[in-house]
Structure 1
Amino acid sequence: MHRYSRLLGLVLLAGLATACASRPVGDFGRAQPSALHDAMLPAVGDFMARQRREPVSNFNQTDQEGEMHDRTWRFLVANNAKDWLFNTEAEMQRVRITRAKDFTFFPDRYYNWLKKTHYQSSRVRYATVNRHILADLDTLPKTFLSICAVQEVDRQRRVALNELTDLAPTAANDVRARRIENQWHVDWFVRAVNYRYDSYSYALENLLVETPHEQSVSVDAFLRRLKVWADRANRGDFCSGASGQGGQGDVAIPSRFQTMVRDTEVIAPK
């Protein structure tokens, strides 16, 4: 009884710590090292996952897996638009203290955040969406490459498991559990890319009704580039051409615009 009371106390403490401290990030939104977020919270999360009878691997993390987790993190949260991507829920999900909750997210939160944020000009909201989509496009190629590298690590593990004989009795279970853990994380990333595309698209269509401006054409062009990456993620295509230029090329994705009056005024973001 004392053991479970202690574990319950650790879970409550972990939840409080997670709610009070977001995971630190560095350049381009990549995760930075943190004892709390990299050791303490995951230890509690592993215990919780085992209680839910989910697979938990005892393997150390490879460099490739660490790189993938660091690069995908910026897509799971939104440090440039706090609150619209449920940062606290994402951290609880990442460390496995709670089950996945991102299935329940609705794409209207980003538009609501834009609507409530004060700008000197209504055109700047379009510039804001442009910057956020461009940041995604700039980081997606290397993020895809990092996922491809992890898929290769999982393949090499399976080959080694089948060919080697002097292995620990838990090796097979750990290989299977780590493959599932990695796949769950990739699936989460895929959902996040789709959620971003849907959120940007929802925002653009509502801005077109609320404050129509010529700057919307540029947002639509960036969105069509992002759609290419979202489609690749949905296909699980992380390795072919992952070093491309943000999805540019001869891709037949129709624009949501037919005609629009030309407006050449440039408004700097505030």
Structure 2
Amino acid sequence: MDKLFRLTGALALAALLTACSAARPVGDFGRADPSFTHDVAMPFVGGKLAENRGEPVSSFNKTDQEDTMHDRVWRFLVAAHAKDWQFDQSVELQRTRIVPPEDRQFTVERYYAWLQSTPYNSSRTRYATVGRHITADIDTLPTTFVSICTVIEIDRQRAEAYRGLAGGLPPRFAQEVAARKAENDAFIAWFVRALNYRYSSYDYALDSLLVETPHEQSLAVDEALRRMAAFVPRANRYDFCGGRGTTTAGGTVVIPSRYQHTADQEIVLQK
């Protein structure tokens, strides 16, 4: 009964938050702005709902590296520059775990539909718009890959730390470590889907524009799309570390042994 009461309360609060919330507010360069509703209230409710769905939920605090990954990946999950063609509000509900993943249902024609319905003084400007959007993505993809690689290393180090210190920790830490890795893995998988969706949407838009308004500007857009395409198979292979396996961008954590002996200077470093 108590569990049912908590679930009912969480559902009621989720409905209230859903009714009053819009897409997450943004600041400069499309980066997320701090918001109590989006950073505290919605994630709290989403965590309770995810638990009731049987999904892993960790109460561990996030590392700085995990926060950075979330911030960098977030711009690929939404499309503020194109007025919700990527379902910004439903993405926010998914990000805060109020609803399970919905992005698998996205269809690629929405970006082109937005371009087609947006009034421009010149039909050539639509090509320039697509080119700018692709270039903005290309400019941020390398650092996004690095941030993901860093979190993969953090998960490895967290598991290594637990194996070395498990004797002095409560059993729940094993569940917490596994749950946080599952959460990070799910978020990385979401980025992979989002990158594929965005690339496919640009590709569909370019093909459609070539038929609707043929212009020589298509060559520059095609070249930008070709450069973006280099990142897509890497993401699909989960090759975020450039073949290195780990990253040196803030991923090294020194974990001292809790039981010091003369010859025991345990340091867990990157492989």
Superposition TM-score, scaled by structure 1 size: 0.86
1:8-49 Cα offsets, whole Å, 9 max, x none, are 32121121133xx32122333222221111110000000100
User: For 2:20, which of 2, 17, 20 is the aligned residue?
Assistant: 17
8 Å CA contact 1:28, 1:139 repeated in 2: no
Deviations 1:222-257 (A, max 9, x none): 000010011111110111179xxxxxxxxxxxxxxx
Q: Which amino acid aligns with 1:30?
A: R
Match of 1:259 in 2: none
Q: Could you tell me which residue of structure 1 aligns to residue 143 of structure 2?
A: 142
Alignment size in residue pairs = 240
Query: Partner residue of 1:93?
Result: 94
1:228 is aligned, of 203, 215, 230, to 230
**In structure 1, C-alpha distance between the alignment counterparts of 2:169 and 2:140, rounded to whole Å:** 38
Structure 2 residue runs without a partner (length 5+): 245-271
Amino acid at match of 1:81: A
CA distance in 1, matches of 2:240, 2:8: 44
Report the equivalent of 1:182: 184
Identify if the C-alpha distance between structure 1 residues 162 and 5 changes in structure 2 by more than 3 Å, giving closer, same or farther: closer
Q: Partner residue of 1:75?
A: 76
CA distance in 2, matches of 1:4, 1:236: 36
Note if contact 2:47-2:57 (Cα within 8 Å) is conserved in structure 1.
yes
Question: After the TM superposition, which residues 166-205 of structure 1 pair with which residues of structure 2 at under 5 Å, given as runs?
Answer: 166-205=168-207
Match of residue 249 from structure 1: none
Q: Distance in 2 between matches of 1:235 and 1:158?
A: 23
Q: Following the alignment from structure 2 to structure 1, what is the Cα–Cα distance between the partners of residues 27 and 240? A: 24
**2:64 alignment counterpart:** 63
Offset at residue 5 of structure 1 (A):
4.1
Q: Which residue of structure 1 lines up, in the alignment, with residue 249 of structure 2?
A: none
Specify the alignment match of 1:213 in structure 2: 215
Distance 1:17 1:232, change over 3 A: same
Structure 1 gaps of 5+ residues are 243-270
Which residue matches 2:160?
159
SS at match of 1:237: coil
**What CA RMSD, in Å, does the superposition of the two structures yield over aligned residues?**
1.4
2:254 is matched with none
The one-letter code of the counterpart of 1:8 is L
Q: Which amino acid aligns with 1:176?
A: A
Q: Do the aligned partners of 2:128 and 2:217 also contact (CA within 8 Å) in 1?
A: yes
| Alignment pair present for 1:6 and 2:9 | yes
Is the CA contact (8 Å cut-off) linking 2:7 and 2:52 kept in structure 1?
A: no
Question: 1:16–1:130: structure 2 CA closer, same or farther, 3 Å change rule?
Answer: same
Q: Contact conserved, 1:107 with 1:195, CA < 8 A, in 2? A: yes
Q: State whether residues 30 and 72 of structure 1, in contact with CA within 8 Å, keep that contact through their aligned partners in structure 2.
A: no
State the shift of 1:161 in Å: 1.1
Identity of aligned residues (%): 57
Deviations 1:84-121 (A, max 9, x none): 10001100000000010110111000001000000000
Counterparts in 2 of 1:4 and 1:224: CA distance versus 1, 3 Å: closer
